[in-house]
Amino acid sequence: MKKIIVLFLLVVTTPCLAQKFEGLALTPPMGWNSWNKFACDVNEQLISETADAMVTSGMKDAGYMYINIDDCWHGERDSLGFIRPDPERFPSGMKSLADYIHAKGLKLGIYSDAGWKTCGGRPGSRGYEYQDAMQYATWGIDYLKYDWCNTEGLNAEGAYLTMRNALAAAGRPIVFSICEWGNDNPWEWAKNIGHCWRISGDIAVIFDGEEGFGSWSSWGVLQILDMREGIRQYSGPDHWNDFDMLEVGNGMSVAEDRAHFSLWCMMASPLLAGNDIRNMSNETRDILTNKEVIAVNQDSLGIQGFKCLKKSDLEIWAKPLQDDALALCFLNRGMNTISVEYKWSEHRIEDGLNKIAFNFGENEYNVRDLWAKKNIGTTNDVLKRELASHDVIVVKLSPQN
Ligand code: GLA
């Protein structure tokens, strides 16, 4: 009888003990995702060639780790309900692709949806959560993006919790990326469920504007940047606000790509390249692999940046870093060049949330330009620069001691 009671308690209470896998995203996840460039046009050749390019382009060396297949990899479920990849696009199967990617020291991500069907109309995980999680674990998947199409009537927190518990039960550490576009304020409930959550609808290859599709829009870089005020306190190590995948290299100007990348780094967003990294220009590669700017994103404090000044088209964004340092991003949102003249000694920047203050009148800092990769004096000087339309200056200030 005692045994039966213990067994009963185990079975009944185990799901309540489930947790997300902790520590998988102590800094924002970095990798690549197929959607922005390839949409439904995914296959194993693209994925394995992208893994090759991740290594040869220097992106792996710069910190990119995940190769994430987005929508449309799916075939049908088999007679037992197990999901199979599309046999024509992935003839070797997911396990073999995962082995190939792991052998390169990289990790493989996959995509599903909490509803009956994915946004691309492929089988969703609703009703198959535990079986799908088990299948992903068996294949050797490391990252799951979980979308929110075709979920009418579902409770978001409950649906994501179910998949979190399913992943926990499957037993393989898998980064869990919540993609419900910020509809139900996931930052308020998802900290213990996922490792990151989208805060917006989809990004477009637009710096400033939106592309309407009737009932929904996809958004420009500045629109996503501005979309949610007051949620930076919810982001931090292992639980990030996700500003969506990068459009660097997909058609904006070099200045716009540089600004987009810098801002995503300032906001401590996951950095998932969304271009064809097999064929990218030197400018695109230089942006995606700038280690000093990436270090701002990957800083161990995990503080999301904030806007500390707005003067017409000029904005300054600030992000406190480890070792009492600070990253600042000067952004020109407008169409005309701006003459920036910033007299450090007249400024004091305070992160009220984290109670960190930088008083340039009292303390001197060394200033390094992270795009020019040059030291440019100290805060006793004046930063004087022409800043082109949609471009940025990113500096790191380190205390002198
Ligand atoms: C949604 C997501 C996108 C992408 C597509 C795939 O729109 O927000 O990031 O995954 O679905 O269909």
Average confidence (pLDDT) over 275-302: 98
Q: How far apart are CA 167 and CA 134, in angstroms?
A: 7
Q: How far apart are CA 246 and CA 224, in angstroms?
A: 12
Q: How far apart are CA 393 and CA 367, in angstroms?
A: 12
Whether 258 has a pLDDT exceeding 80, the answer reads yes
Domains along the sequence of the chain with CATH: 2-297 (3.20.20.70), 306-399 (2.60.40.1180)
Q: Which residues are catalytic?
A: 147, 202
Whether 291 has a pLDDT exceeding 80, the answer reads yes
pLDDT of residue 14: 52
> Half-sphere exposure of 180 toward its Cβ, with a 13 Å CA cutoff?
24
The protein residue whose alpha carbon is closest to atom 3 in ligand 1 is: 202
Whether 9 has a pLDDT exceeding 60, the answer reads no
Q: How far apart are CA 192 and CA 21, in angstroms?
A: 9
Q: Is 242 in the pocket of ligand 1 (CB under 6 A)?
A: no
Whether 214 has a pLDDT exceeding 90, the answer reads yes
Q: Which of 42, 73, 143, 202 to mutate to test the pocket of ligand 1 (most atoms within 8 A of CB)?
A: 202
- Residues 157-188 have pLDDT tens digits of 999 999 999 999 999 999 999 999 999 999 99
Average confidence (pLDDT) over 226-242: 97
Average confidence (pLDDT) over 97-113: 98
Average confidence (pLDDT) over 319-325: 98
Q: Is 179 in the pocket of ligand 1 (CB under 6 A)?
A: yes
Q: Is 147 in the pocket of ligand 1 (CB under 6 A)?
A: yes
- The answer to whether the beta carbons of residues 385 and 393 sit under 8 Å apart is yes
Q: What is the DSSP string of 225-242?
A: HHH--S-GGG-BTTBEEE
pLDDT of residue 3: 58
Whether 76 has a pLDDT exceeding 90, the answer reads yes
pLDDT of residue 359: 96
Whether 231 has a pLDDT exceeding 80, the answer reads yes
> Half-sphere exposure of 337 toward its Cβ, with a 13 Å CA cutoff?
5
- Ligand 1 centroid from CA 147, angstroms: 7
